[in-house]
A = this chain, B = another copy of it.
Amino acid sequence: MVKKIAGVLGATGSVGQRFILLLNEHPDFELKYLGASKRSSGKKYSDAVNWKQTDLLPDFAKDIIVSECDPAYFKGCDVVFSGLDADYAGEIESSFKDNGFAVVSNAKNHRREENVPLIVPIVNIDHLDILPKHDKKGFIVCISNCSTAGLVAPLKPLVEKFGPIDALSTVTMQAISGAGFSPGVPGIDILDNIIPYIGGEEDKMEWETKKILGSISQDQSHIKLLTDDEIKVSAQCNRVAVTDGHTECIALRFQNRPAPSVDQVKQALEEYVCDAYKLGCHSAPKQTIHLLEQNDRPQPRLDRNRDNGYGVSVGRVREDPLLDYKMVVLSHNTVIGAAGAGILIAECLLAKNLI
């Protein structure tokens, strides 16, 4: 099979660096184009980047000449991954879309547009079906916020099996890698400390959940959100001294009575197989949700890399005095919550003949 040609926008940033790592020796994609700011353009990537990953900069990327983030430089590119900052993503991604490119973006700018699918690729890749098929019209697909990804992963099988969830709360303990590194979270703010606030995050989680759990409109043109009457969502977000892996303490109530039993809930989580895996996508997790029975798990350091970070771990499923159930969810924020999700989304786009 001929590999699809890929490009990365915002290639020197933290999300961009991870796109590059994940595209190294990828069976479906060949990374040819790297876009960054004017300051970096014209340089070899290895000269432009301050590489800060635990894996070495792959050889294939070292000599790619960085260009500006202009569609003119990305000729023939089948898919463009955007790790751009929100300050630039809105306009640049639109210009790529308008020029016929398929854009998979980690930025928040276009997430709320009704004809832009907001995708957690282990949850709702059916939403990709609203995208234009068989022609050269460009489109944008958005990756969800990192903490939303972990939240909705266990909800999907539960809603499928037991019907709507009408109340949902989450308190997050989020890793610092999610904040990028220029400057990200200052060390003095996070060592021996917690920051009980992440700007905009709670609102994103509460809103995005309603879109991701929403449905396709009858005319297949857009996504219909769950309404505030259908589901109430409350999020409280904290930054903690963890490098990678977002932990969430969630509680939920089903609309239907009687609620399923705790064993039914666990079984549904464990048996869930995401559509991306059924489609045979390369990065899709074999086990979407790892149900852990030890009472002190999941833990970020021990469990964040299940299925290369594409699997989500759920533990401590138990009854809740207020709602129906509470549980602890762990997801790898830079994999299923950011760049990794983008790669898997692109694999799904390919499997669905959308690129």
Contact = CB atoms under 8 A, between A and B. Distances in A.
Contact of A196 (B228, B236, B316, B322): B316
Contacts of A173: 173, 194, 238, 240
A186 interface: yes
Interface stretch (A25-33, A155-163, A295-303): A295-303
Interface string A173-193: 100110101011111111111
Contacts of A232: 321-322
A195 to B, nearest CB: 6
Contacts of A316: 196-197
Interface residues of A, number: 60
Nearest to A320: B234
A305 interface: yes
A352 to B, nearest CB: 32
A196 B297 contact: yes
Contact of A192 (B179, B242, B249): B242
B302 A52 contact: yes
A233 interface: yes
A206 interface: yes
A64 interface: no
Contacts of A186: 181, 183-187
A240 to B, nearest CB: 6
Given A173-B194, A193-B300, A234-B322, 4 more contacts: A179-B187, A181-B189, A191-B243, A234-B323
